[in-house]
Structure formats: C-alpha cells, structure tokens
Chains A and B, each alone.
Chain A
C-alpha cells in the first residue's frame, strides 16, 4: 500500500481568492500596455462576458442547474441601466446597480418555477425565457434617450450614455470593467468555501440529504438564481457603458446556448473556466477576424472542443489546468515560468531590434514554440490512439528501431549516444514548420524569421538546461521542500 501523504489544508477564503486578486491586478495594470485599441475594446467585452460565464458556471458547477437565460439577464441589466441613466441622468454606477438589481429580481422570477425542475426541463424553461427576451427586445429595442417608458428614439439620432467620470478613456474603462468583474468572481469564489457554498454542495450531492439536515433547498437555490442574475445584469450594464448603447442583435438566444457550451468547455468548477469561456466566445472570433479569416469558423472549433471536453470528463480546460498544477512540482512551474519568460523576452527584443516583427509577436511565437515542445508528443500519441492500441504499438516499435540504429551509428562515430535524439528532431522539425507556417499565414511574418524565432527558442531552452542545471537543481529542491503538493487531496 502506498504511504499516506500528509493532507494540506485548503486554506481560508482569503487565501483561496489571493491568486485571483493577484492575476486580475496584473491584467488590469499590464493589459493596456500590451493591447492595441481594437484589442483593448475586445478584452473589455471579454471581462464583461467573464462575469456572465461565471454566473452560468455558478449555477451549473455549484448546483448542477443548466441555465440558458444568463445572456438574456445581462440584456435585462443593460436595458435597465440604459433606461435609468437616460431617464434620470443619474451617474453610471447607479444605473449599473439598478440594472443588477433588476436582473437579480428577474433571475429570481425565472428561478422560482425552476426550483422544482432539473436537467433538461430546466434548460428548456430557461431557453424559452431567453427566446422571449429576444422577442421583446426586438419589439421595444434598447433605450437610447427617446420618449415613453421604452425610451426608444423613433426617427432621429440615438443618444449614448456617458461612461463614469473616473473611467472615460478606453484604458481606464478596461480597468474599471476588470475591477467589477474581479469583484464578482472573488465574491463567488469566497462563497464556495463559506456557509453558502457548503449548503450548495449538500444540495448538489442530494436534495433529500440536504433537507434531512435542515437545509432549506428553496432558499439556497433562490439565492443562487438571484445572485447569478444580478451579476449577469451587472455585466450587461458594463457592456452598455463600453459602447454607450446596446444593439438588439447583441443578446441573441443562440449566444446564451453558445455561452453555456463554452462554460462546459472552459470548466465550470474553477474561475479560470469562466475566463476561458469568455475568451473563446469573443476573443477567438476577433483574432480570426483581425487576420482576415471569418470569425464564424470558430464555431466549428467550439463544436469539436465541446465533444472533446464531454469525452474527457466534465471539468473542462480549467479542470485540466488545475490537475496539471496539482501534479507538477512547484519548482518545475517556477523554473519553467522563469526560463520561458526570459527566452521569450530575449527573442522578442532581438526580433524587434532586427525589425522582423513586433516585440509581442515574437514573444508570443516563442511561448507557443516552447509550449508545443512539451505538448506535441502527447497530442500525437492521443491522435494515434484514435486508430487503436495496435497503431500506437507499431509507431512505438518503429521509433525504437530507428532510434537504436541511430544510437549504433553515433557509438561507431565515437559520440555520446542519445536515445531520444530521433524523437526530438522530429518534434523540432514539426514545430518549426507548422508554427512558422501559421505565423506566416496568420501574422504575416516572414517564414524564415518565424523559423529562426521558433528554433531559437527551442535551442535556448536546451542551452538553459545544459548550462544551468547544476545551479538550478539545489534551488529547485529548496522550493519543493517549501511548497509541497497535497497529493492526497487528489480525486
């Protein structure tokens, strides 16, 4: 029997949200330096959608309830926010909070009949609500300073709302949106390890068991619906503030379904999943559009990604990342981040100095090359697996045969034999040719420069390993002793 490892405490709620606070502080500060105006606007939307995704994940991950109304609830929040600001000329924050309250109330109303429903029926009900919202909004439109309770201008100039005074520029508004989004995510994360989250855990395990210990299932489910409605509404208000107005086409029912699917892909049990879902739904199509590819192509990828995450289990990309973080020693993560970062910065500076491409472009390509260096063998192995175990075995045998022959030749030539040389060469060739081809096609970088950056990155990593290992190893064991991993906590 394996020896029991000591379990490590999960930590206080404050300790649990610290990584989240640090991440979003860095994003809020560094983001505007790296992003162009187009990308800054895209990422502000991503921040808002992260909050909406987090509410979908909250209902699905914490209570197992599928809600397809969250996007429509963002629309409700945006509508009320616009209406209040146009109607009474109140500051932006008041409109935002009014929108959140209205959406929370609406979410609660949707949730009430849903308290006795689960699974498919709940999904259908919420889908119908989303569709109904779309119909209503198509008829009355979003307020833009007109008369009447709908506040819609009939023939004339649409009025815009002002952004908050402290955040009128695009950069400031990006930070403003990130702060609201982070506050929402921190609140959710905090609750997960507090009384509310524990009650949710009891309910999702079994409603009967929860009832038998005196948990009011109605109260806790209703709280979840109201809070997730309010946070989605807040996000809707933030989107309204970004553009100054909202468009009828922005809150299509299909977006609600897509958002739910992407939350499953991103991972509903970890806050990173909400960020990934928002990036996929808005940043990926924007990236494709930016390079002259139709953004709708992303939907094909989404379908494939959903299929993979359903086969792979329900934890999504965020769950896989969390597993990776749990199983890989701390020292390797630290060393990897430092070496990858230094290599990417160095190549970024060189490429910029030689005016091949921008600093960010070379930085990004180096990181991709280093990531592929680790990931490609595993991915290929998985792809071979689709053809069956025998194909995998044949490929392995063939590789072993060729490697042994190569080792014999190296020995005959008086060199120190390397059994993995053949595999590594293939890996380097593939990464170089493939990534450089994508960089050439998508980023418009000269093929040879891209190849130089990619192989430069891989070469520098090998150089790092060969030259610095004797110094790095003791340092690494110190880190592992200081931050052990709670292996026994694994599921």
Chain B
C-alpha cells in the first residue's frame, strides 16, 4: 500500500506536485495524466531522487521520506525508467544478475534461482546469453521488468514500460504486468500514456493534472469521468468547440 500525505515538490517557482494526498491500495495501480502533470516527478519522489518540501510517503508500512535513494531498494522498492537501462555489453543474464548482487540473497545459488525465475517469468529464457545491445526494444523493456522483480520487492514502479511496443507485444506486456502481484507479492504502480494498457492492467487508477489529483478510483469509472476525459483525452463539450 502506498500512502502519500500532503506532498509538495517545488523546483524554483514551479510546483510539479502541489499538496497531493492519496492512498493507493489496489494490487495494480495506474497513473495517467497529460504531459507535465507530475507523473515522473511523483515516481522520483517515491524513489527518493526528488525531495519534497513537505509531506510524507509510506510504502508497505515503512516511512520513506527521509530514506536515501540507494537504501530504498532494501525496503523493497524497485523501478524502471522511461529509457531502458540494459547494459549493451553484458548478457541478459548478467544484466539481471547485477541486480541480484545487491539484493541480499543468502547464497549465490538462491540468487541464481531468482534470476532464472524472473527471466523465465517475462518469457526471455531463450535469450539469457544474448548481449544487451542485441536485444529488441520489446525484449529490453521486458528485461527491465525482470530486473525489477528480483529480491522480493514490495512495490514495483514501471515508468512507461509499453513505449515503442507493437500491439501484440503490448498485449503480452499487459499479461505480464497483471501477473506480477501473484508472482512475487509486490504492488505494481504503472505509469503509461497507453490508456488501453492501463485499462487492461489496473484495478485502480489515479489521474494527475498540474500536480493535483484529478480523480482516483476503479479504472473504468475514472476513464469515463467527464473531468478526466476533458483534461487528459482532450474532449470538449460542444459549446466550447463552437466558441
């Protein structure tokens, strides 16, 4: 469960997030919003790269506001980035193993088992010896997800995992994301512009607009909300259009 209490982020005169309070308790939560709504800033607050000027963040019962970014992994936080972070000159296996190195397994055999399981879960077992640079875009995104599943995470944050994927790849991705809570017991926090992906994965969705919470609730309700459609999907009422 993610509890965000009265978070404000200030960059100079800009407030990307303005006194935001929200509790996200569904196993898979979606976050959508137009460009500049503060989606990635919120993710950066959760992973500790941005320090809010006020407010607190609690994930799975641990208060994280004061925890340093590199220590948050110990609290079970994992995230992916908009641009994938697969090292070109390591194999897929080594890329995932690099995460396992820092996940405090009891033995190297256990670490290897976890790596194998995560790679198998995203369906890339046939690619473990391939160099990162030779993987396709979709494979790299899936490998990123495999990296985020190592070491019993409590919260997996995915920043636009579907970017650049074809429709069939996107369907596979949705299936993989839906299975994450059952696979490792983690809550999933999914940011994407692809509303179809959000709709297919998330029980609960929140919408940000100019740093404020516009809506939160069951995904289908949120996506049909008139305010949301206006802000995010660009729908106008007829009157406005005429004017």
Contact = CB atoms under 8 A, between A and B. Distances in A.
Contacts of A205: 85-87
A213 B102 contact: yes
A216 interface: yes
A122 interface: no
Interface string B78-100: 11010001111111001101110
A198 B88 CA distance: 12
Interface residues of B, number: 35
B70 A198 contact: no
B74 A214 contact: yes
A193 B94 contact: yes
Contacts of B98: 198-199, 201-202, 213
A489 interface: yes
Contacts of A10: 91, 94, 129
Interface stretch (B130-138, B197-205, B227-235): B130-138
B85 A209 contact: yes
A132 B71 CA distance: 38
B48 to A, nearest CB: 8
A489 B130 contact: yes
Given A199-B98, A209-B81, A214 B131 contact: no
Interface in B191-234: none
B127 A212 contact: no
B90 A491 contact: no
Contact of A491 (B47, B49, B133): B133
Nearest to A8: B129
Contact of B147 (A199, A208, A213): A213
Contact of B70 (A204, A216, A488, A491): A216
Contacts of A8: 129
A7 B127 contact: yes
Contact of A213 (B78, B90, B131): B78
Interface in B118-136: 127-131, 133-134
Contacts of A214: 70-74, 102-103
B134 A198 contact: no
A416 interface: no
Task: Select the residue from B72, B86, B95, B130 with max chain A CB neighbours within 10 A.
Answer: B130
Contact of B102 (A199, A204, A488): A199
Nearest to B87: A201
Contacts of B47: 212
Contacts of B95: 201
Given A7-B130, A193-B94, A202-B87, 17 more contacts: A8-B129, A10-B129, A198-B94, A199-B102, A201-B95, A209-B85, A211-B70, A212-B69, A212-B77, A212-B78, A215-B70, A269-B89, A489-B129, A489-B134, A490-B131, A491-B88, A491-B89
15 contacts: A9-B129, A193-B94, A198-B98, A201-B89, A201-B94, A202-B85, A205-B85, A206-B81, A212-B69, A212-B79, A213-B102, A214-B71, A214-B72, A215-B70, A489-B131
Interface of B: 47, 49, 69-74, 77-79, 81, 85-91, 94-95, 97-99, 101-103, 127-131, 133-134, 147
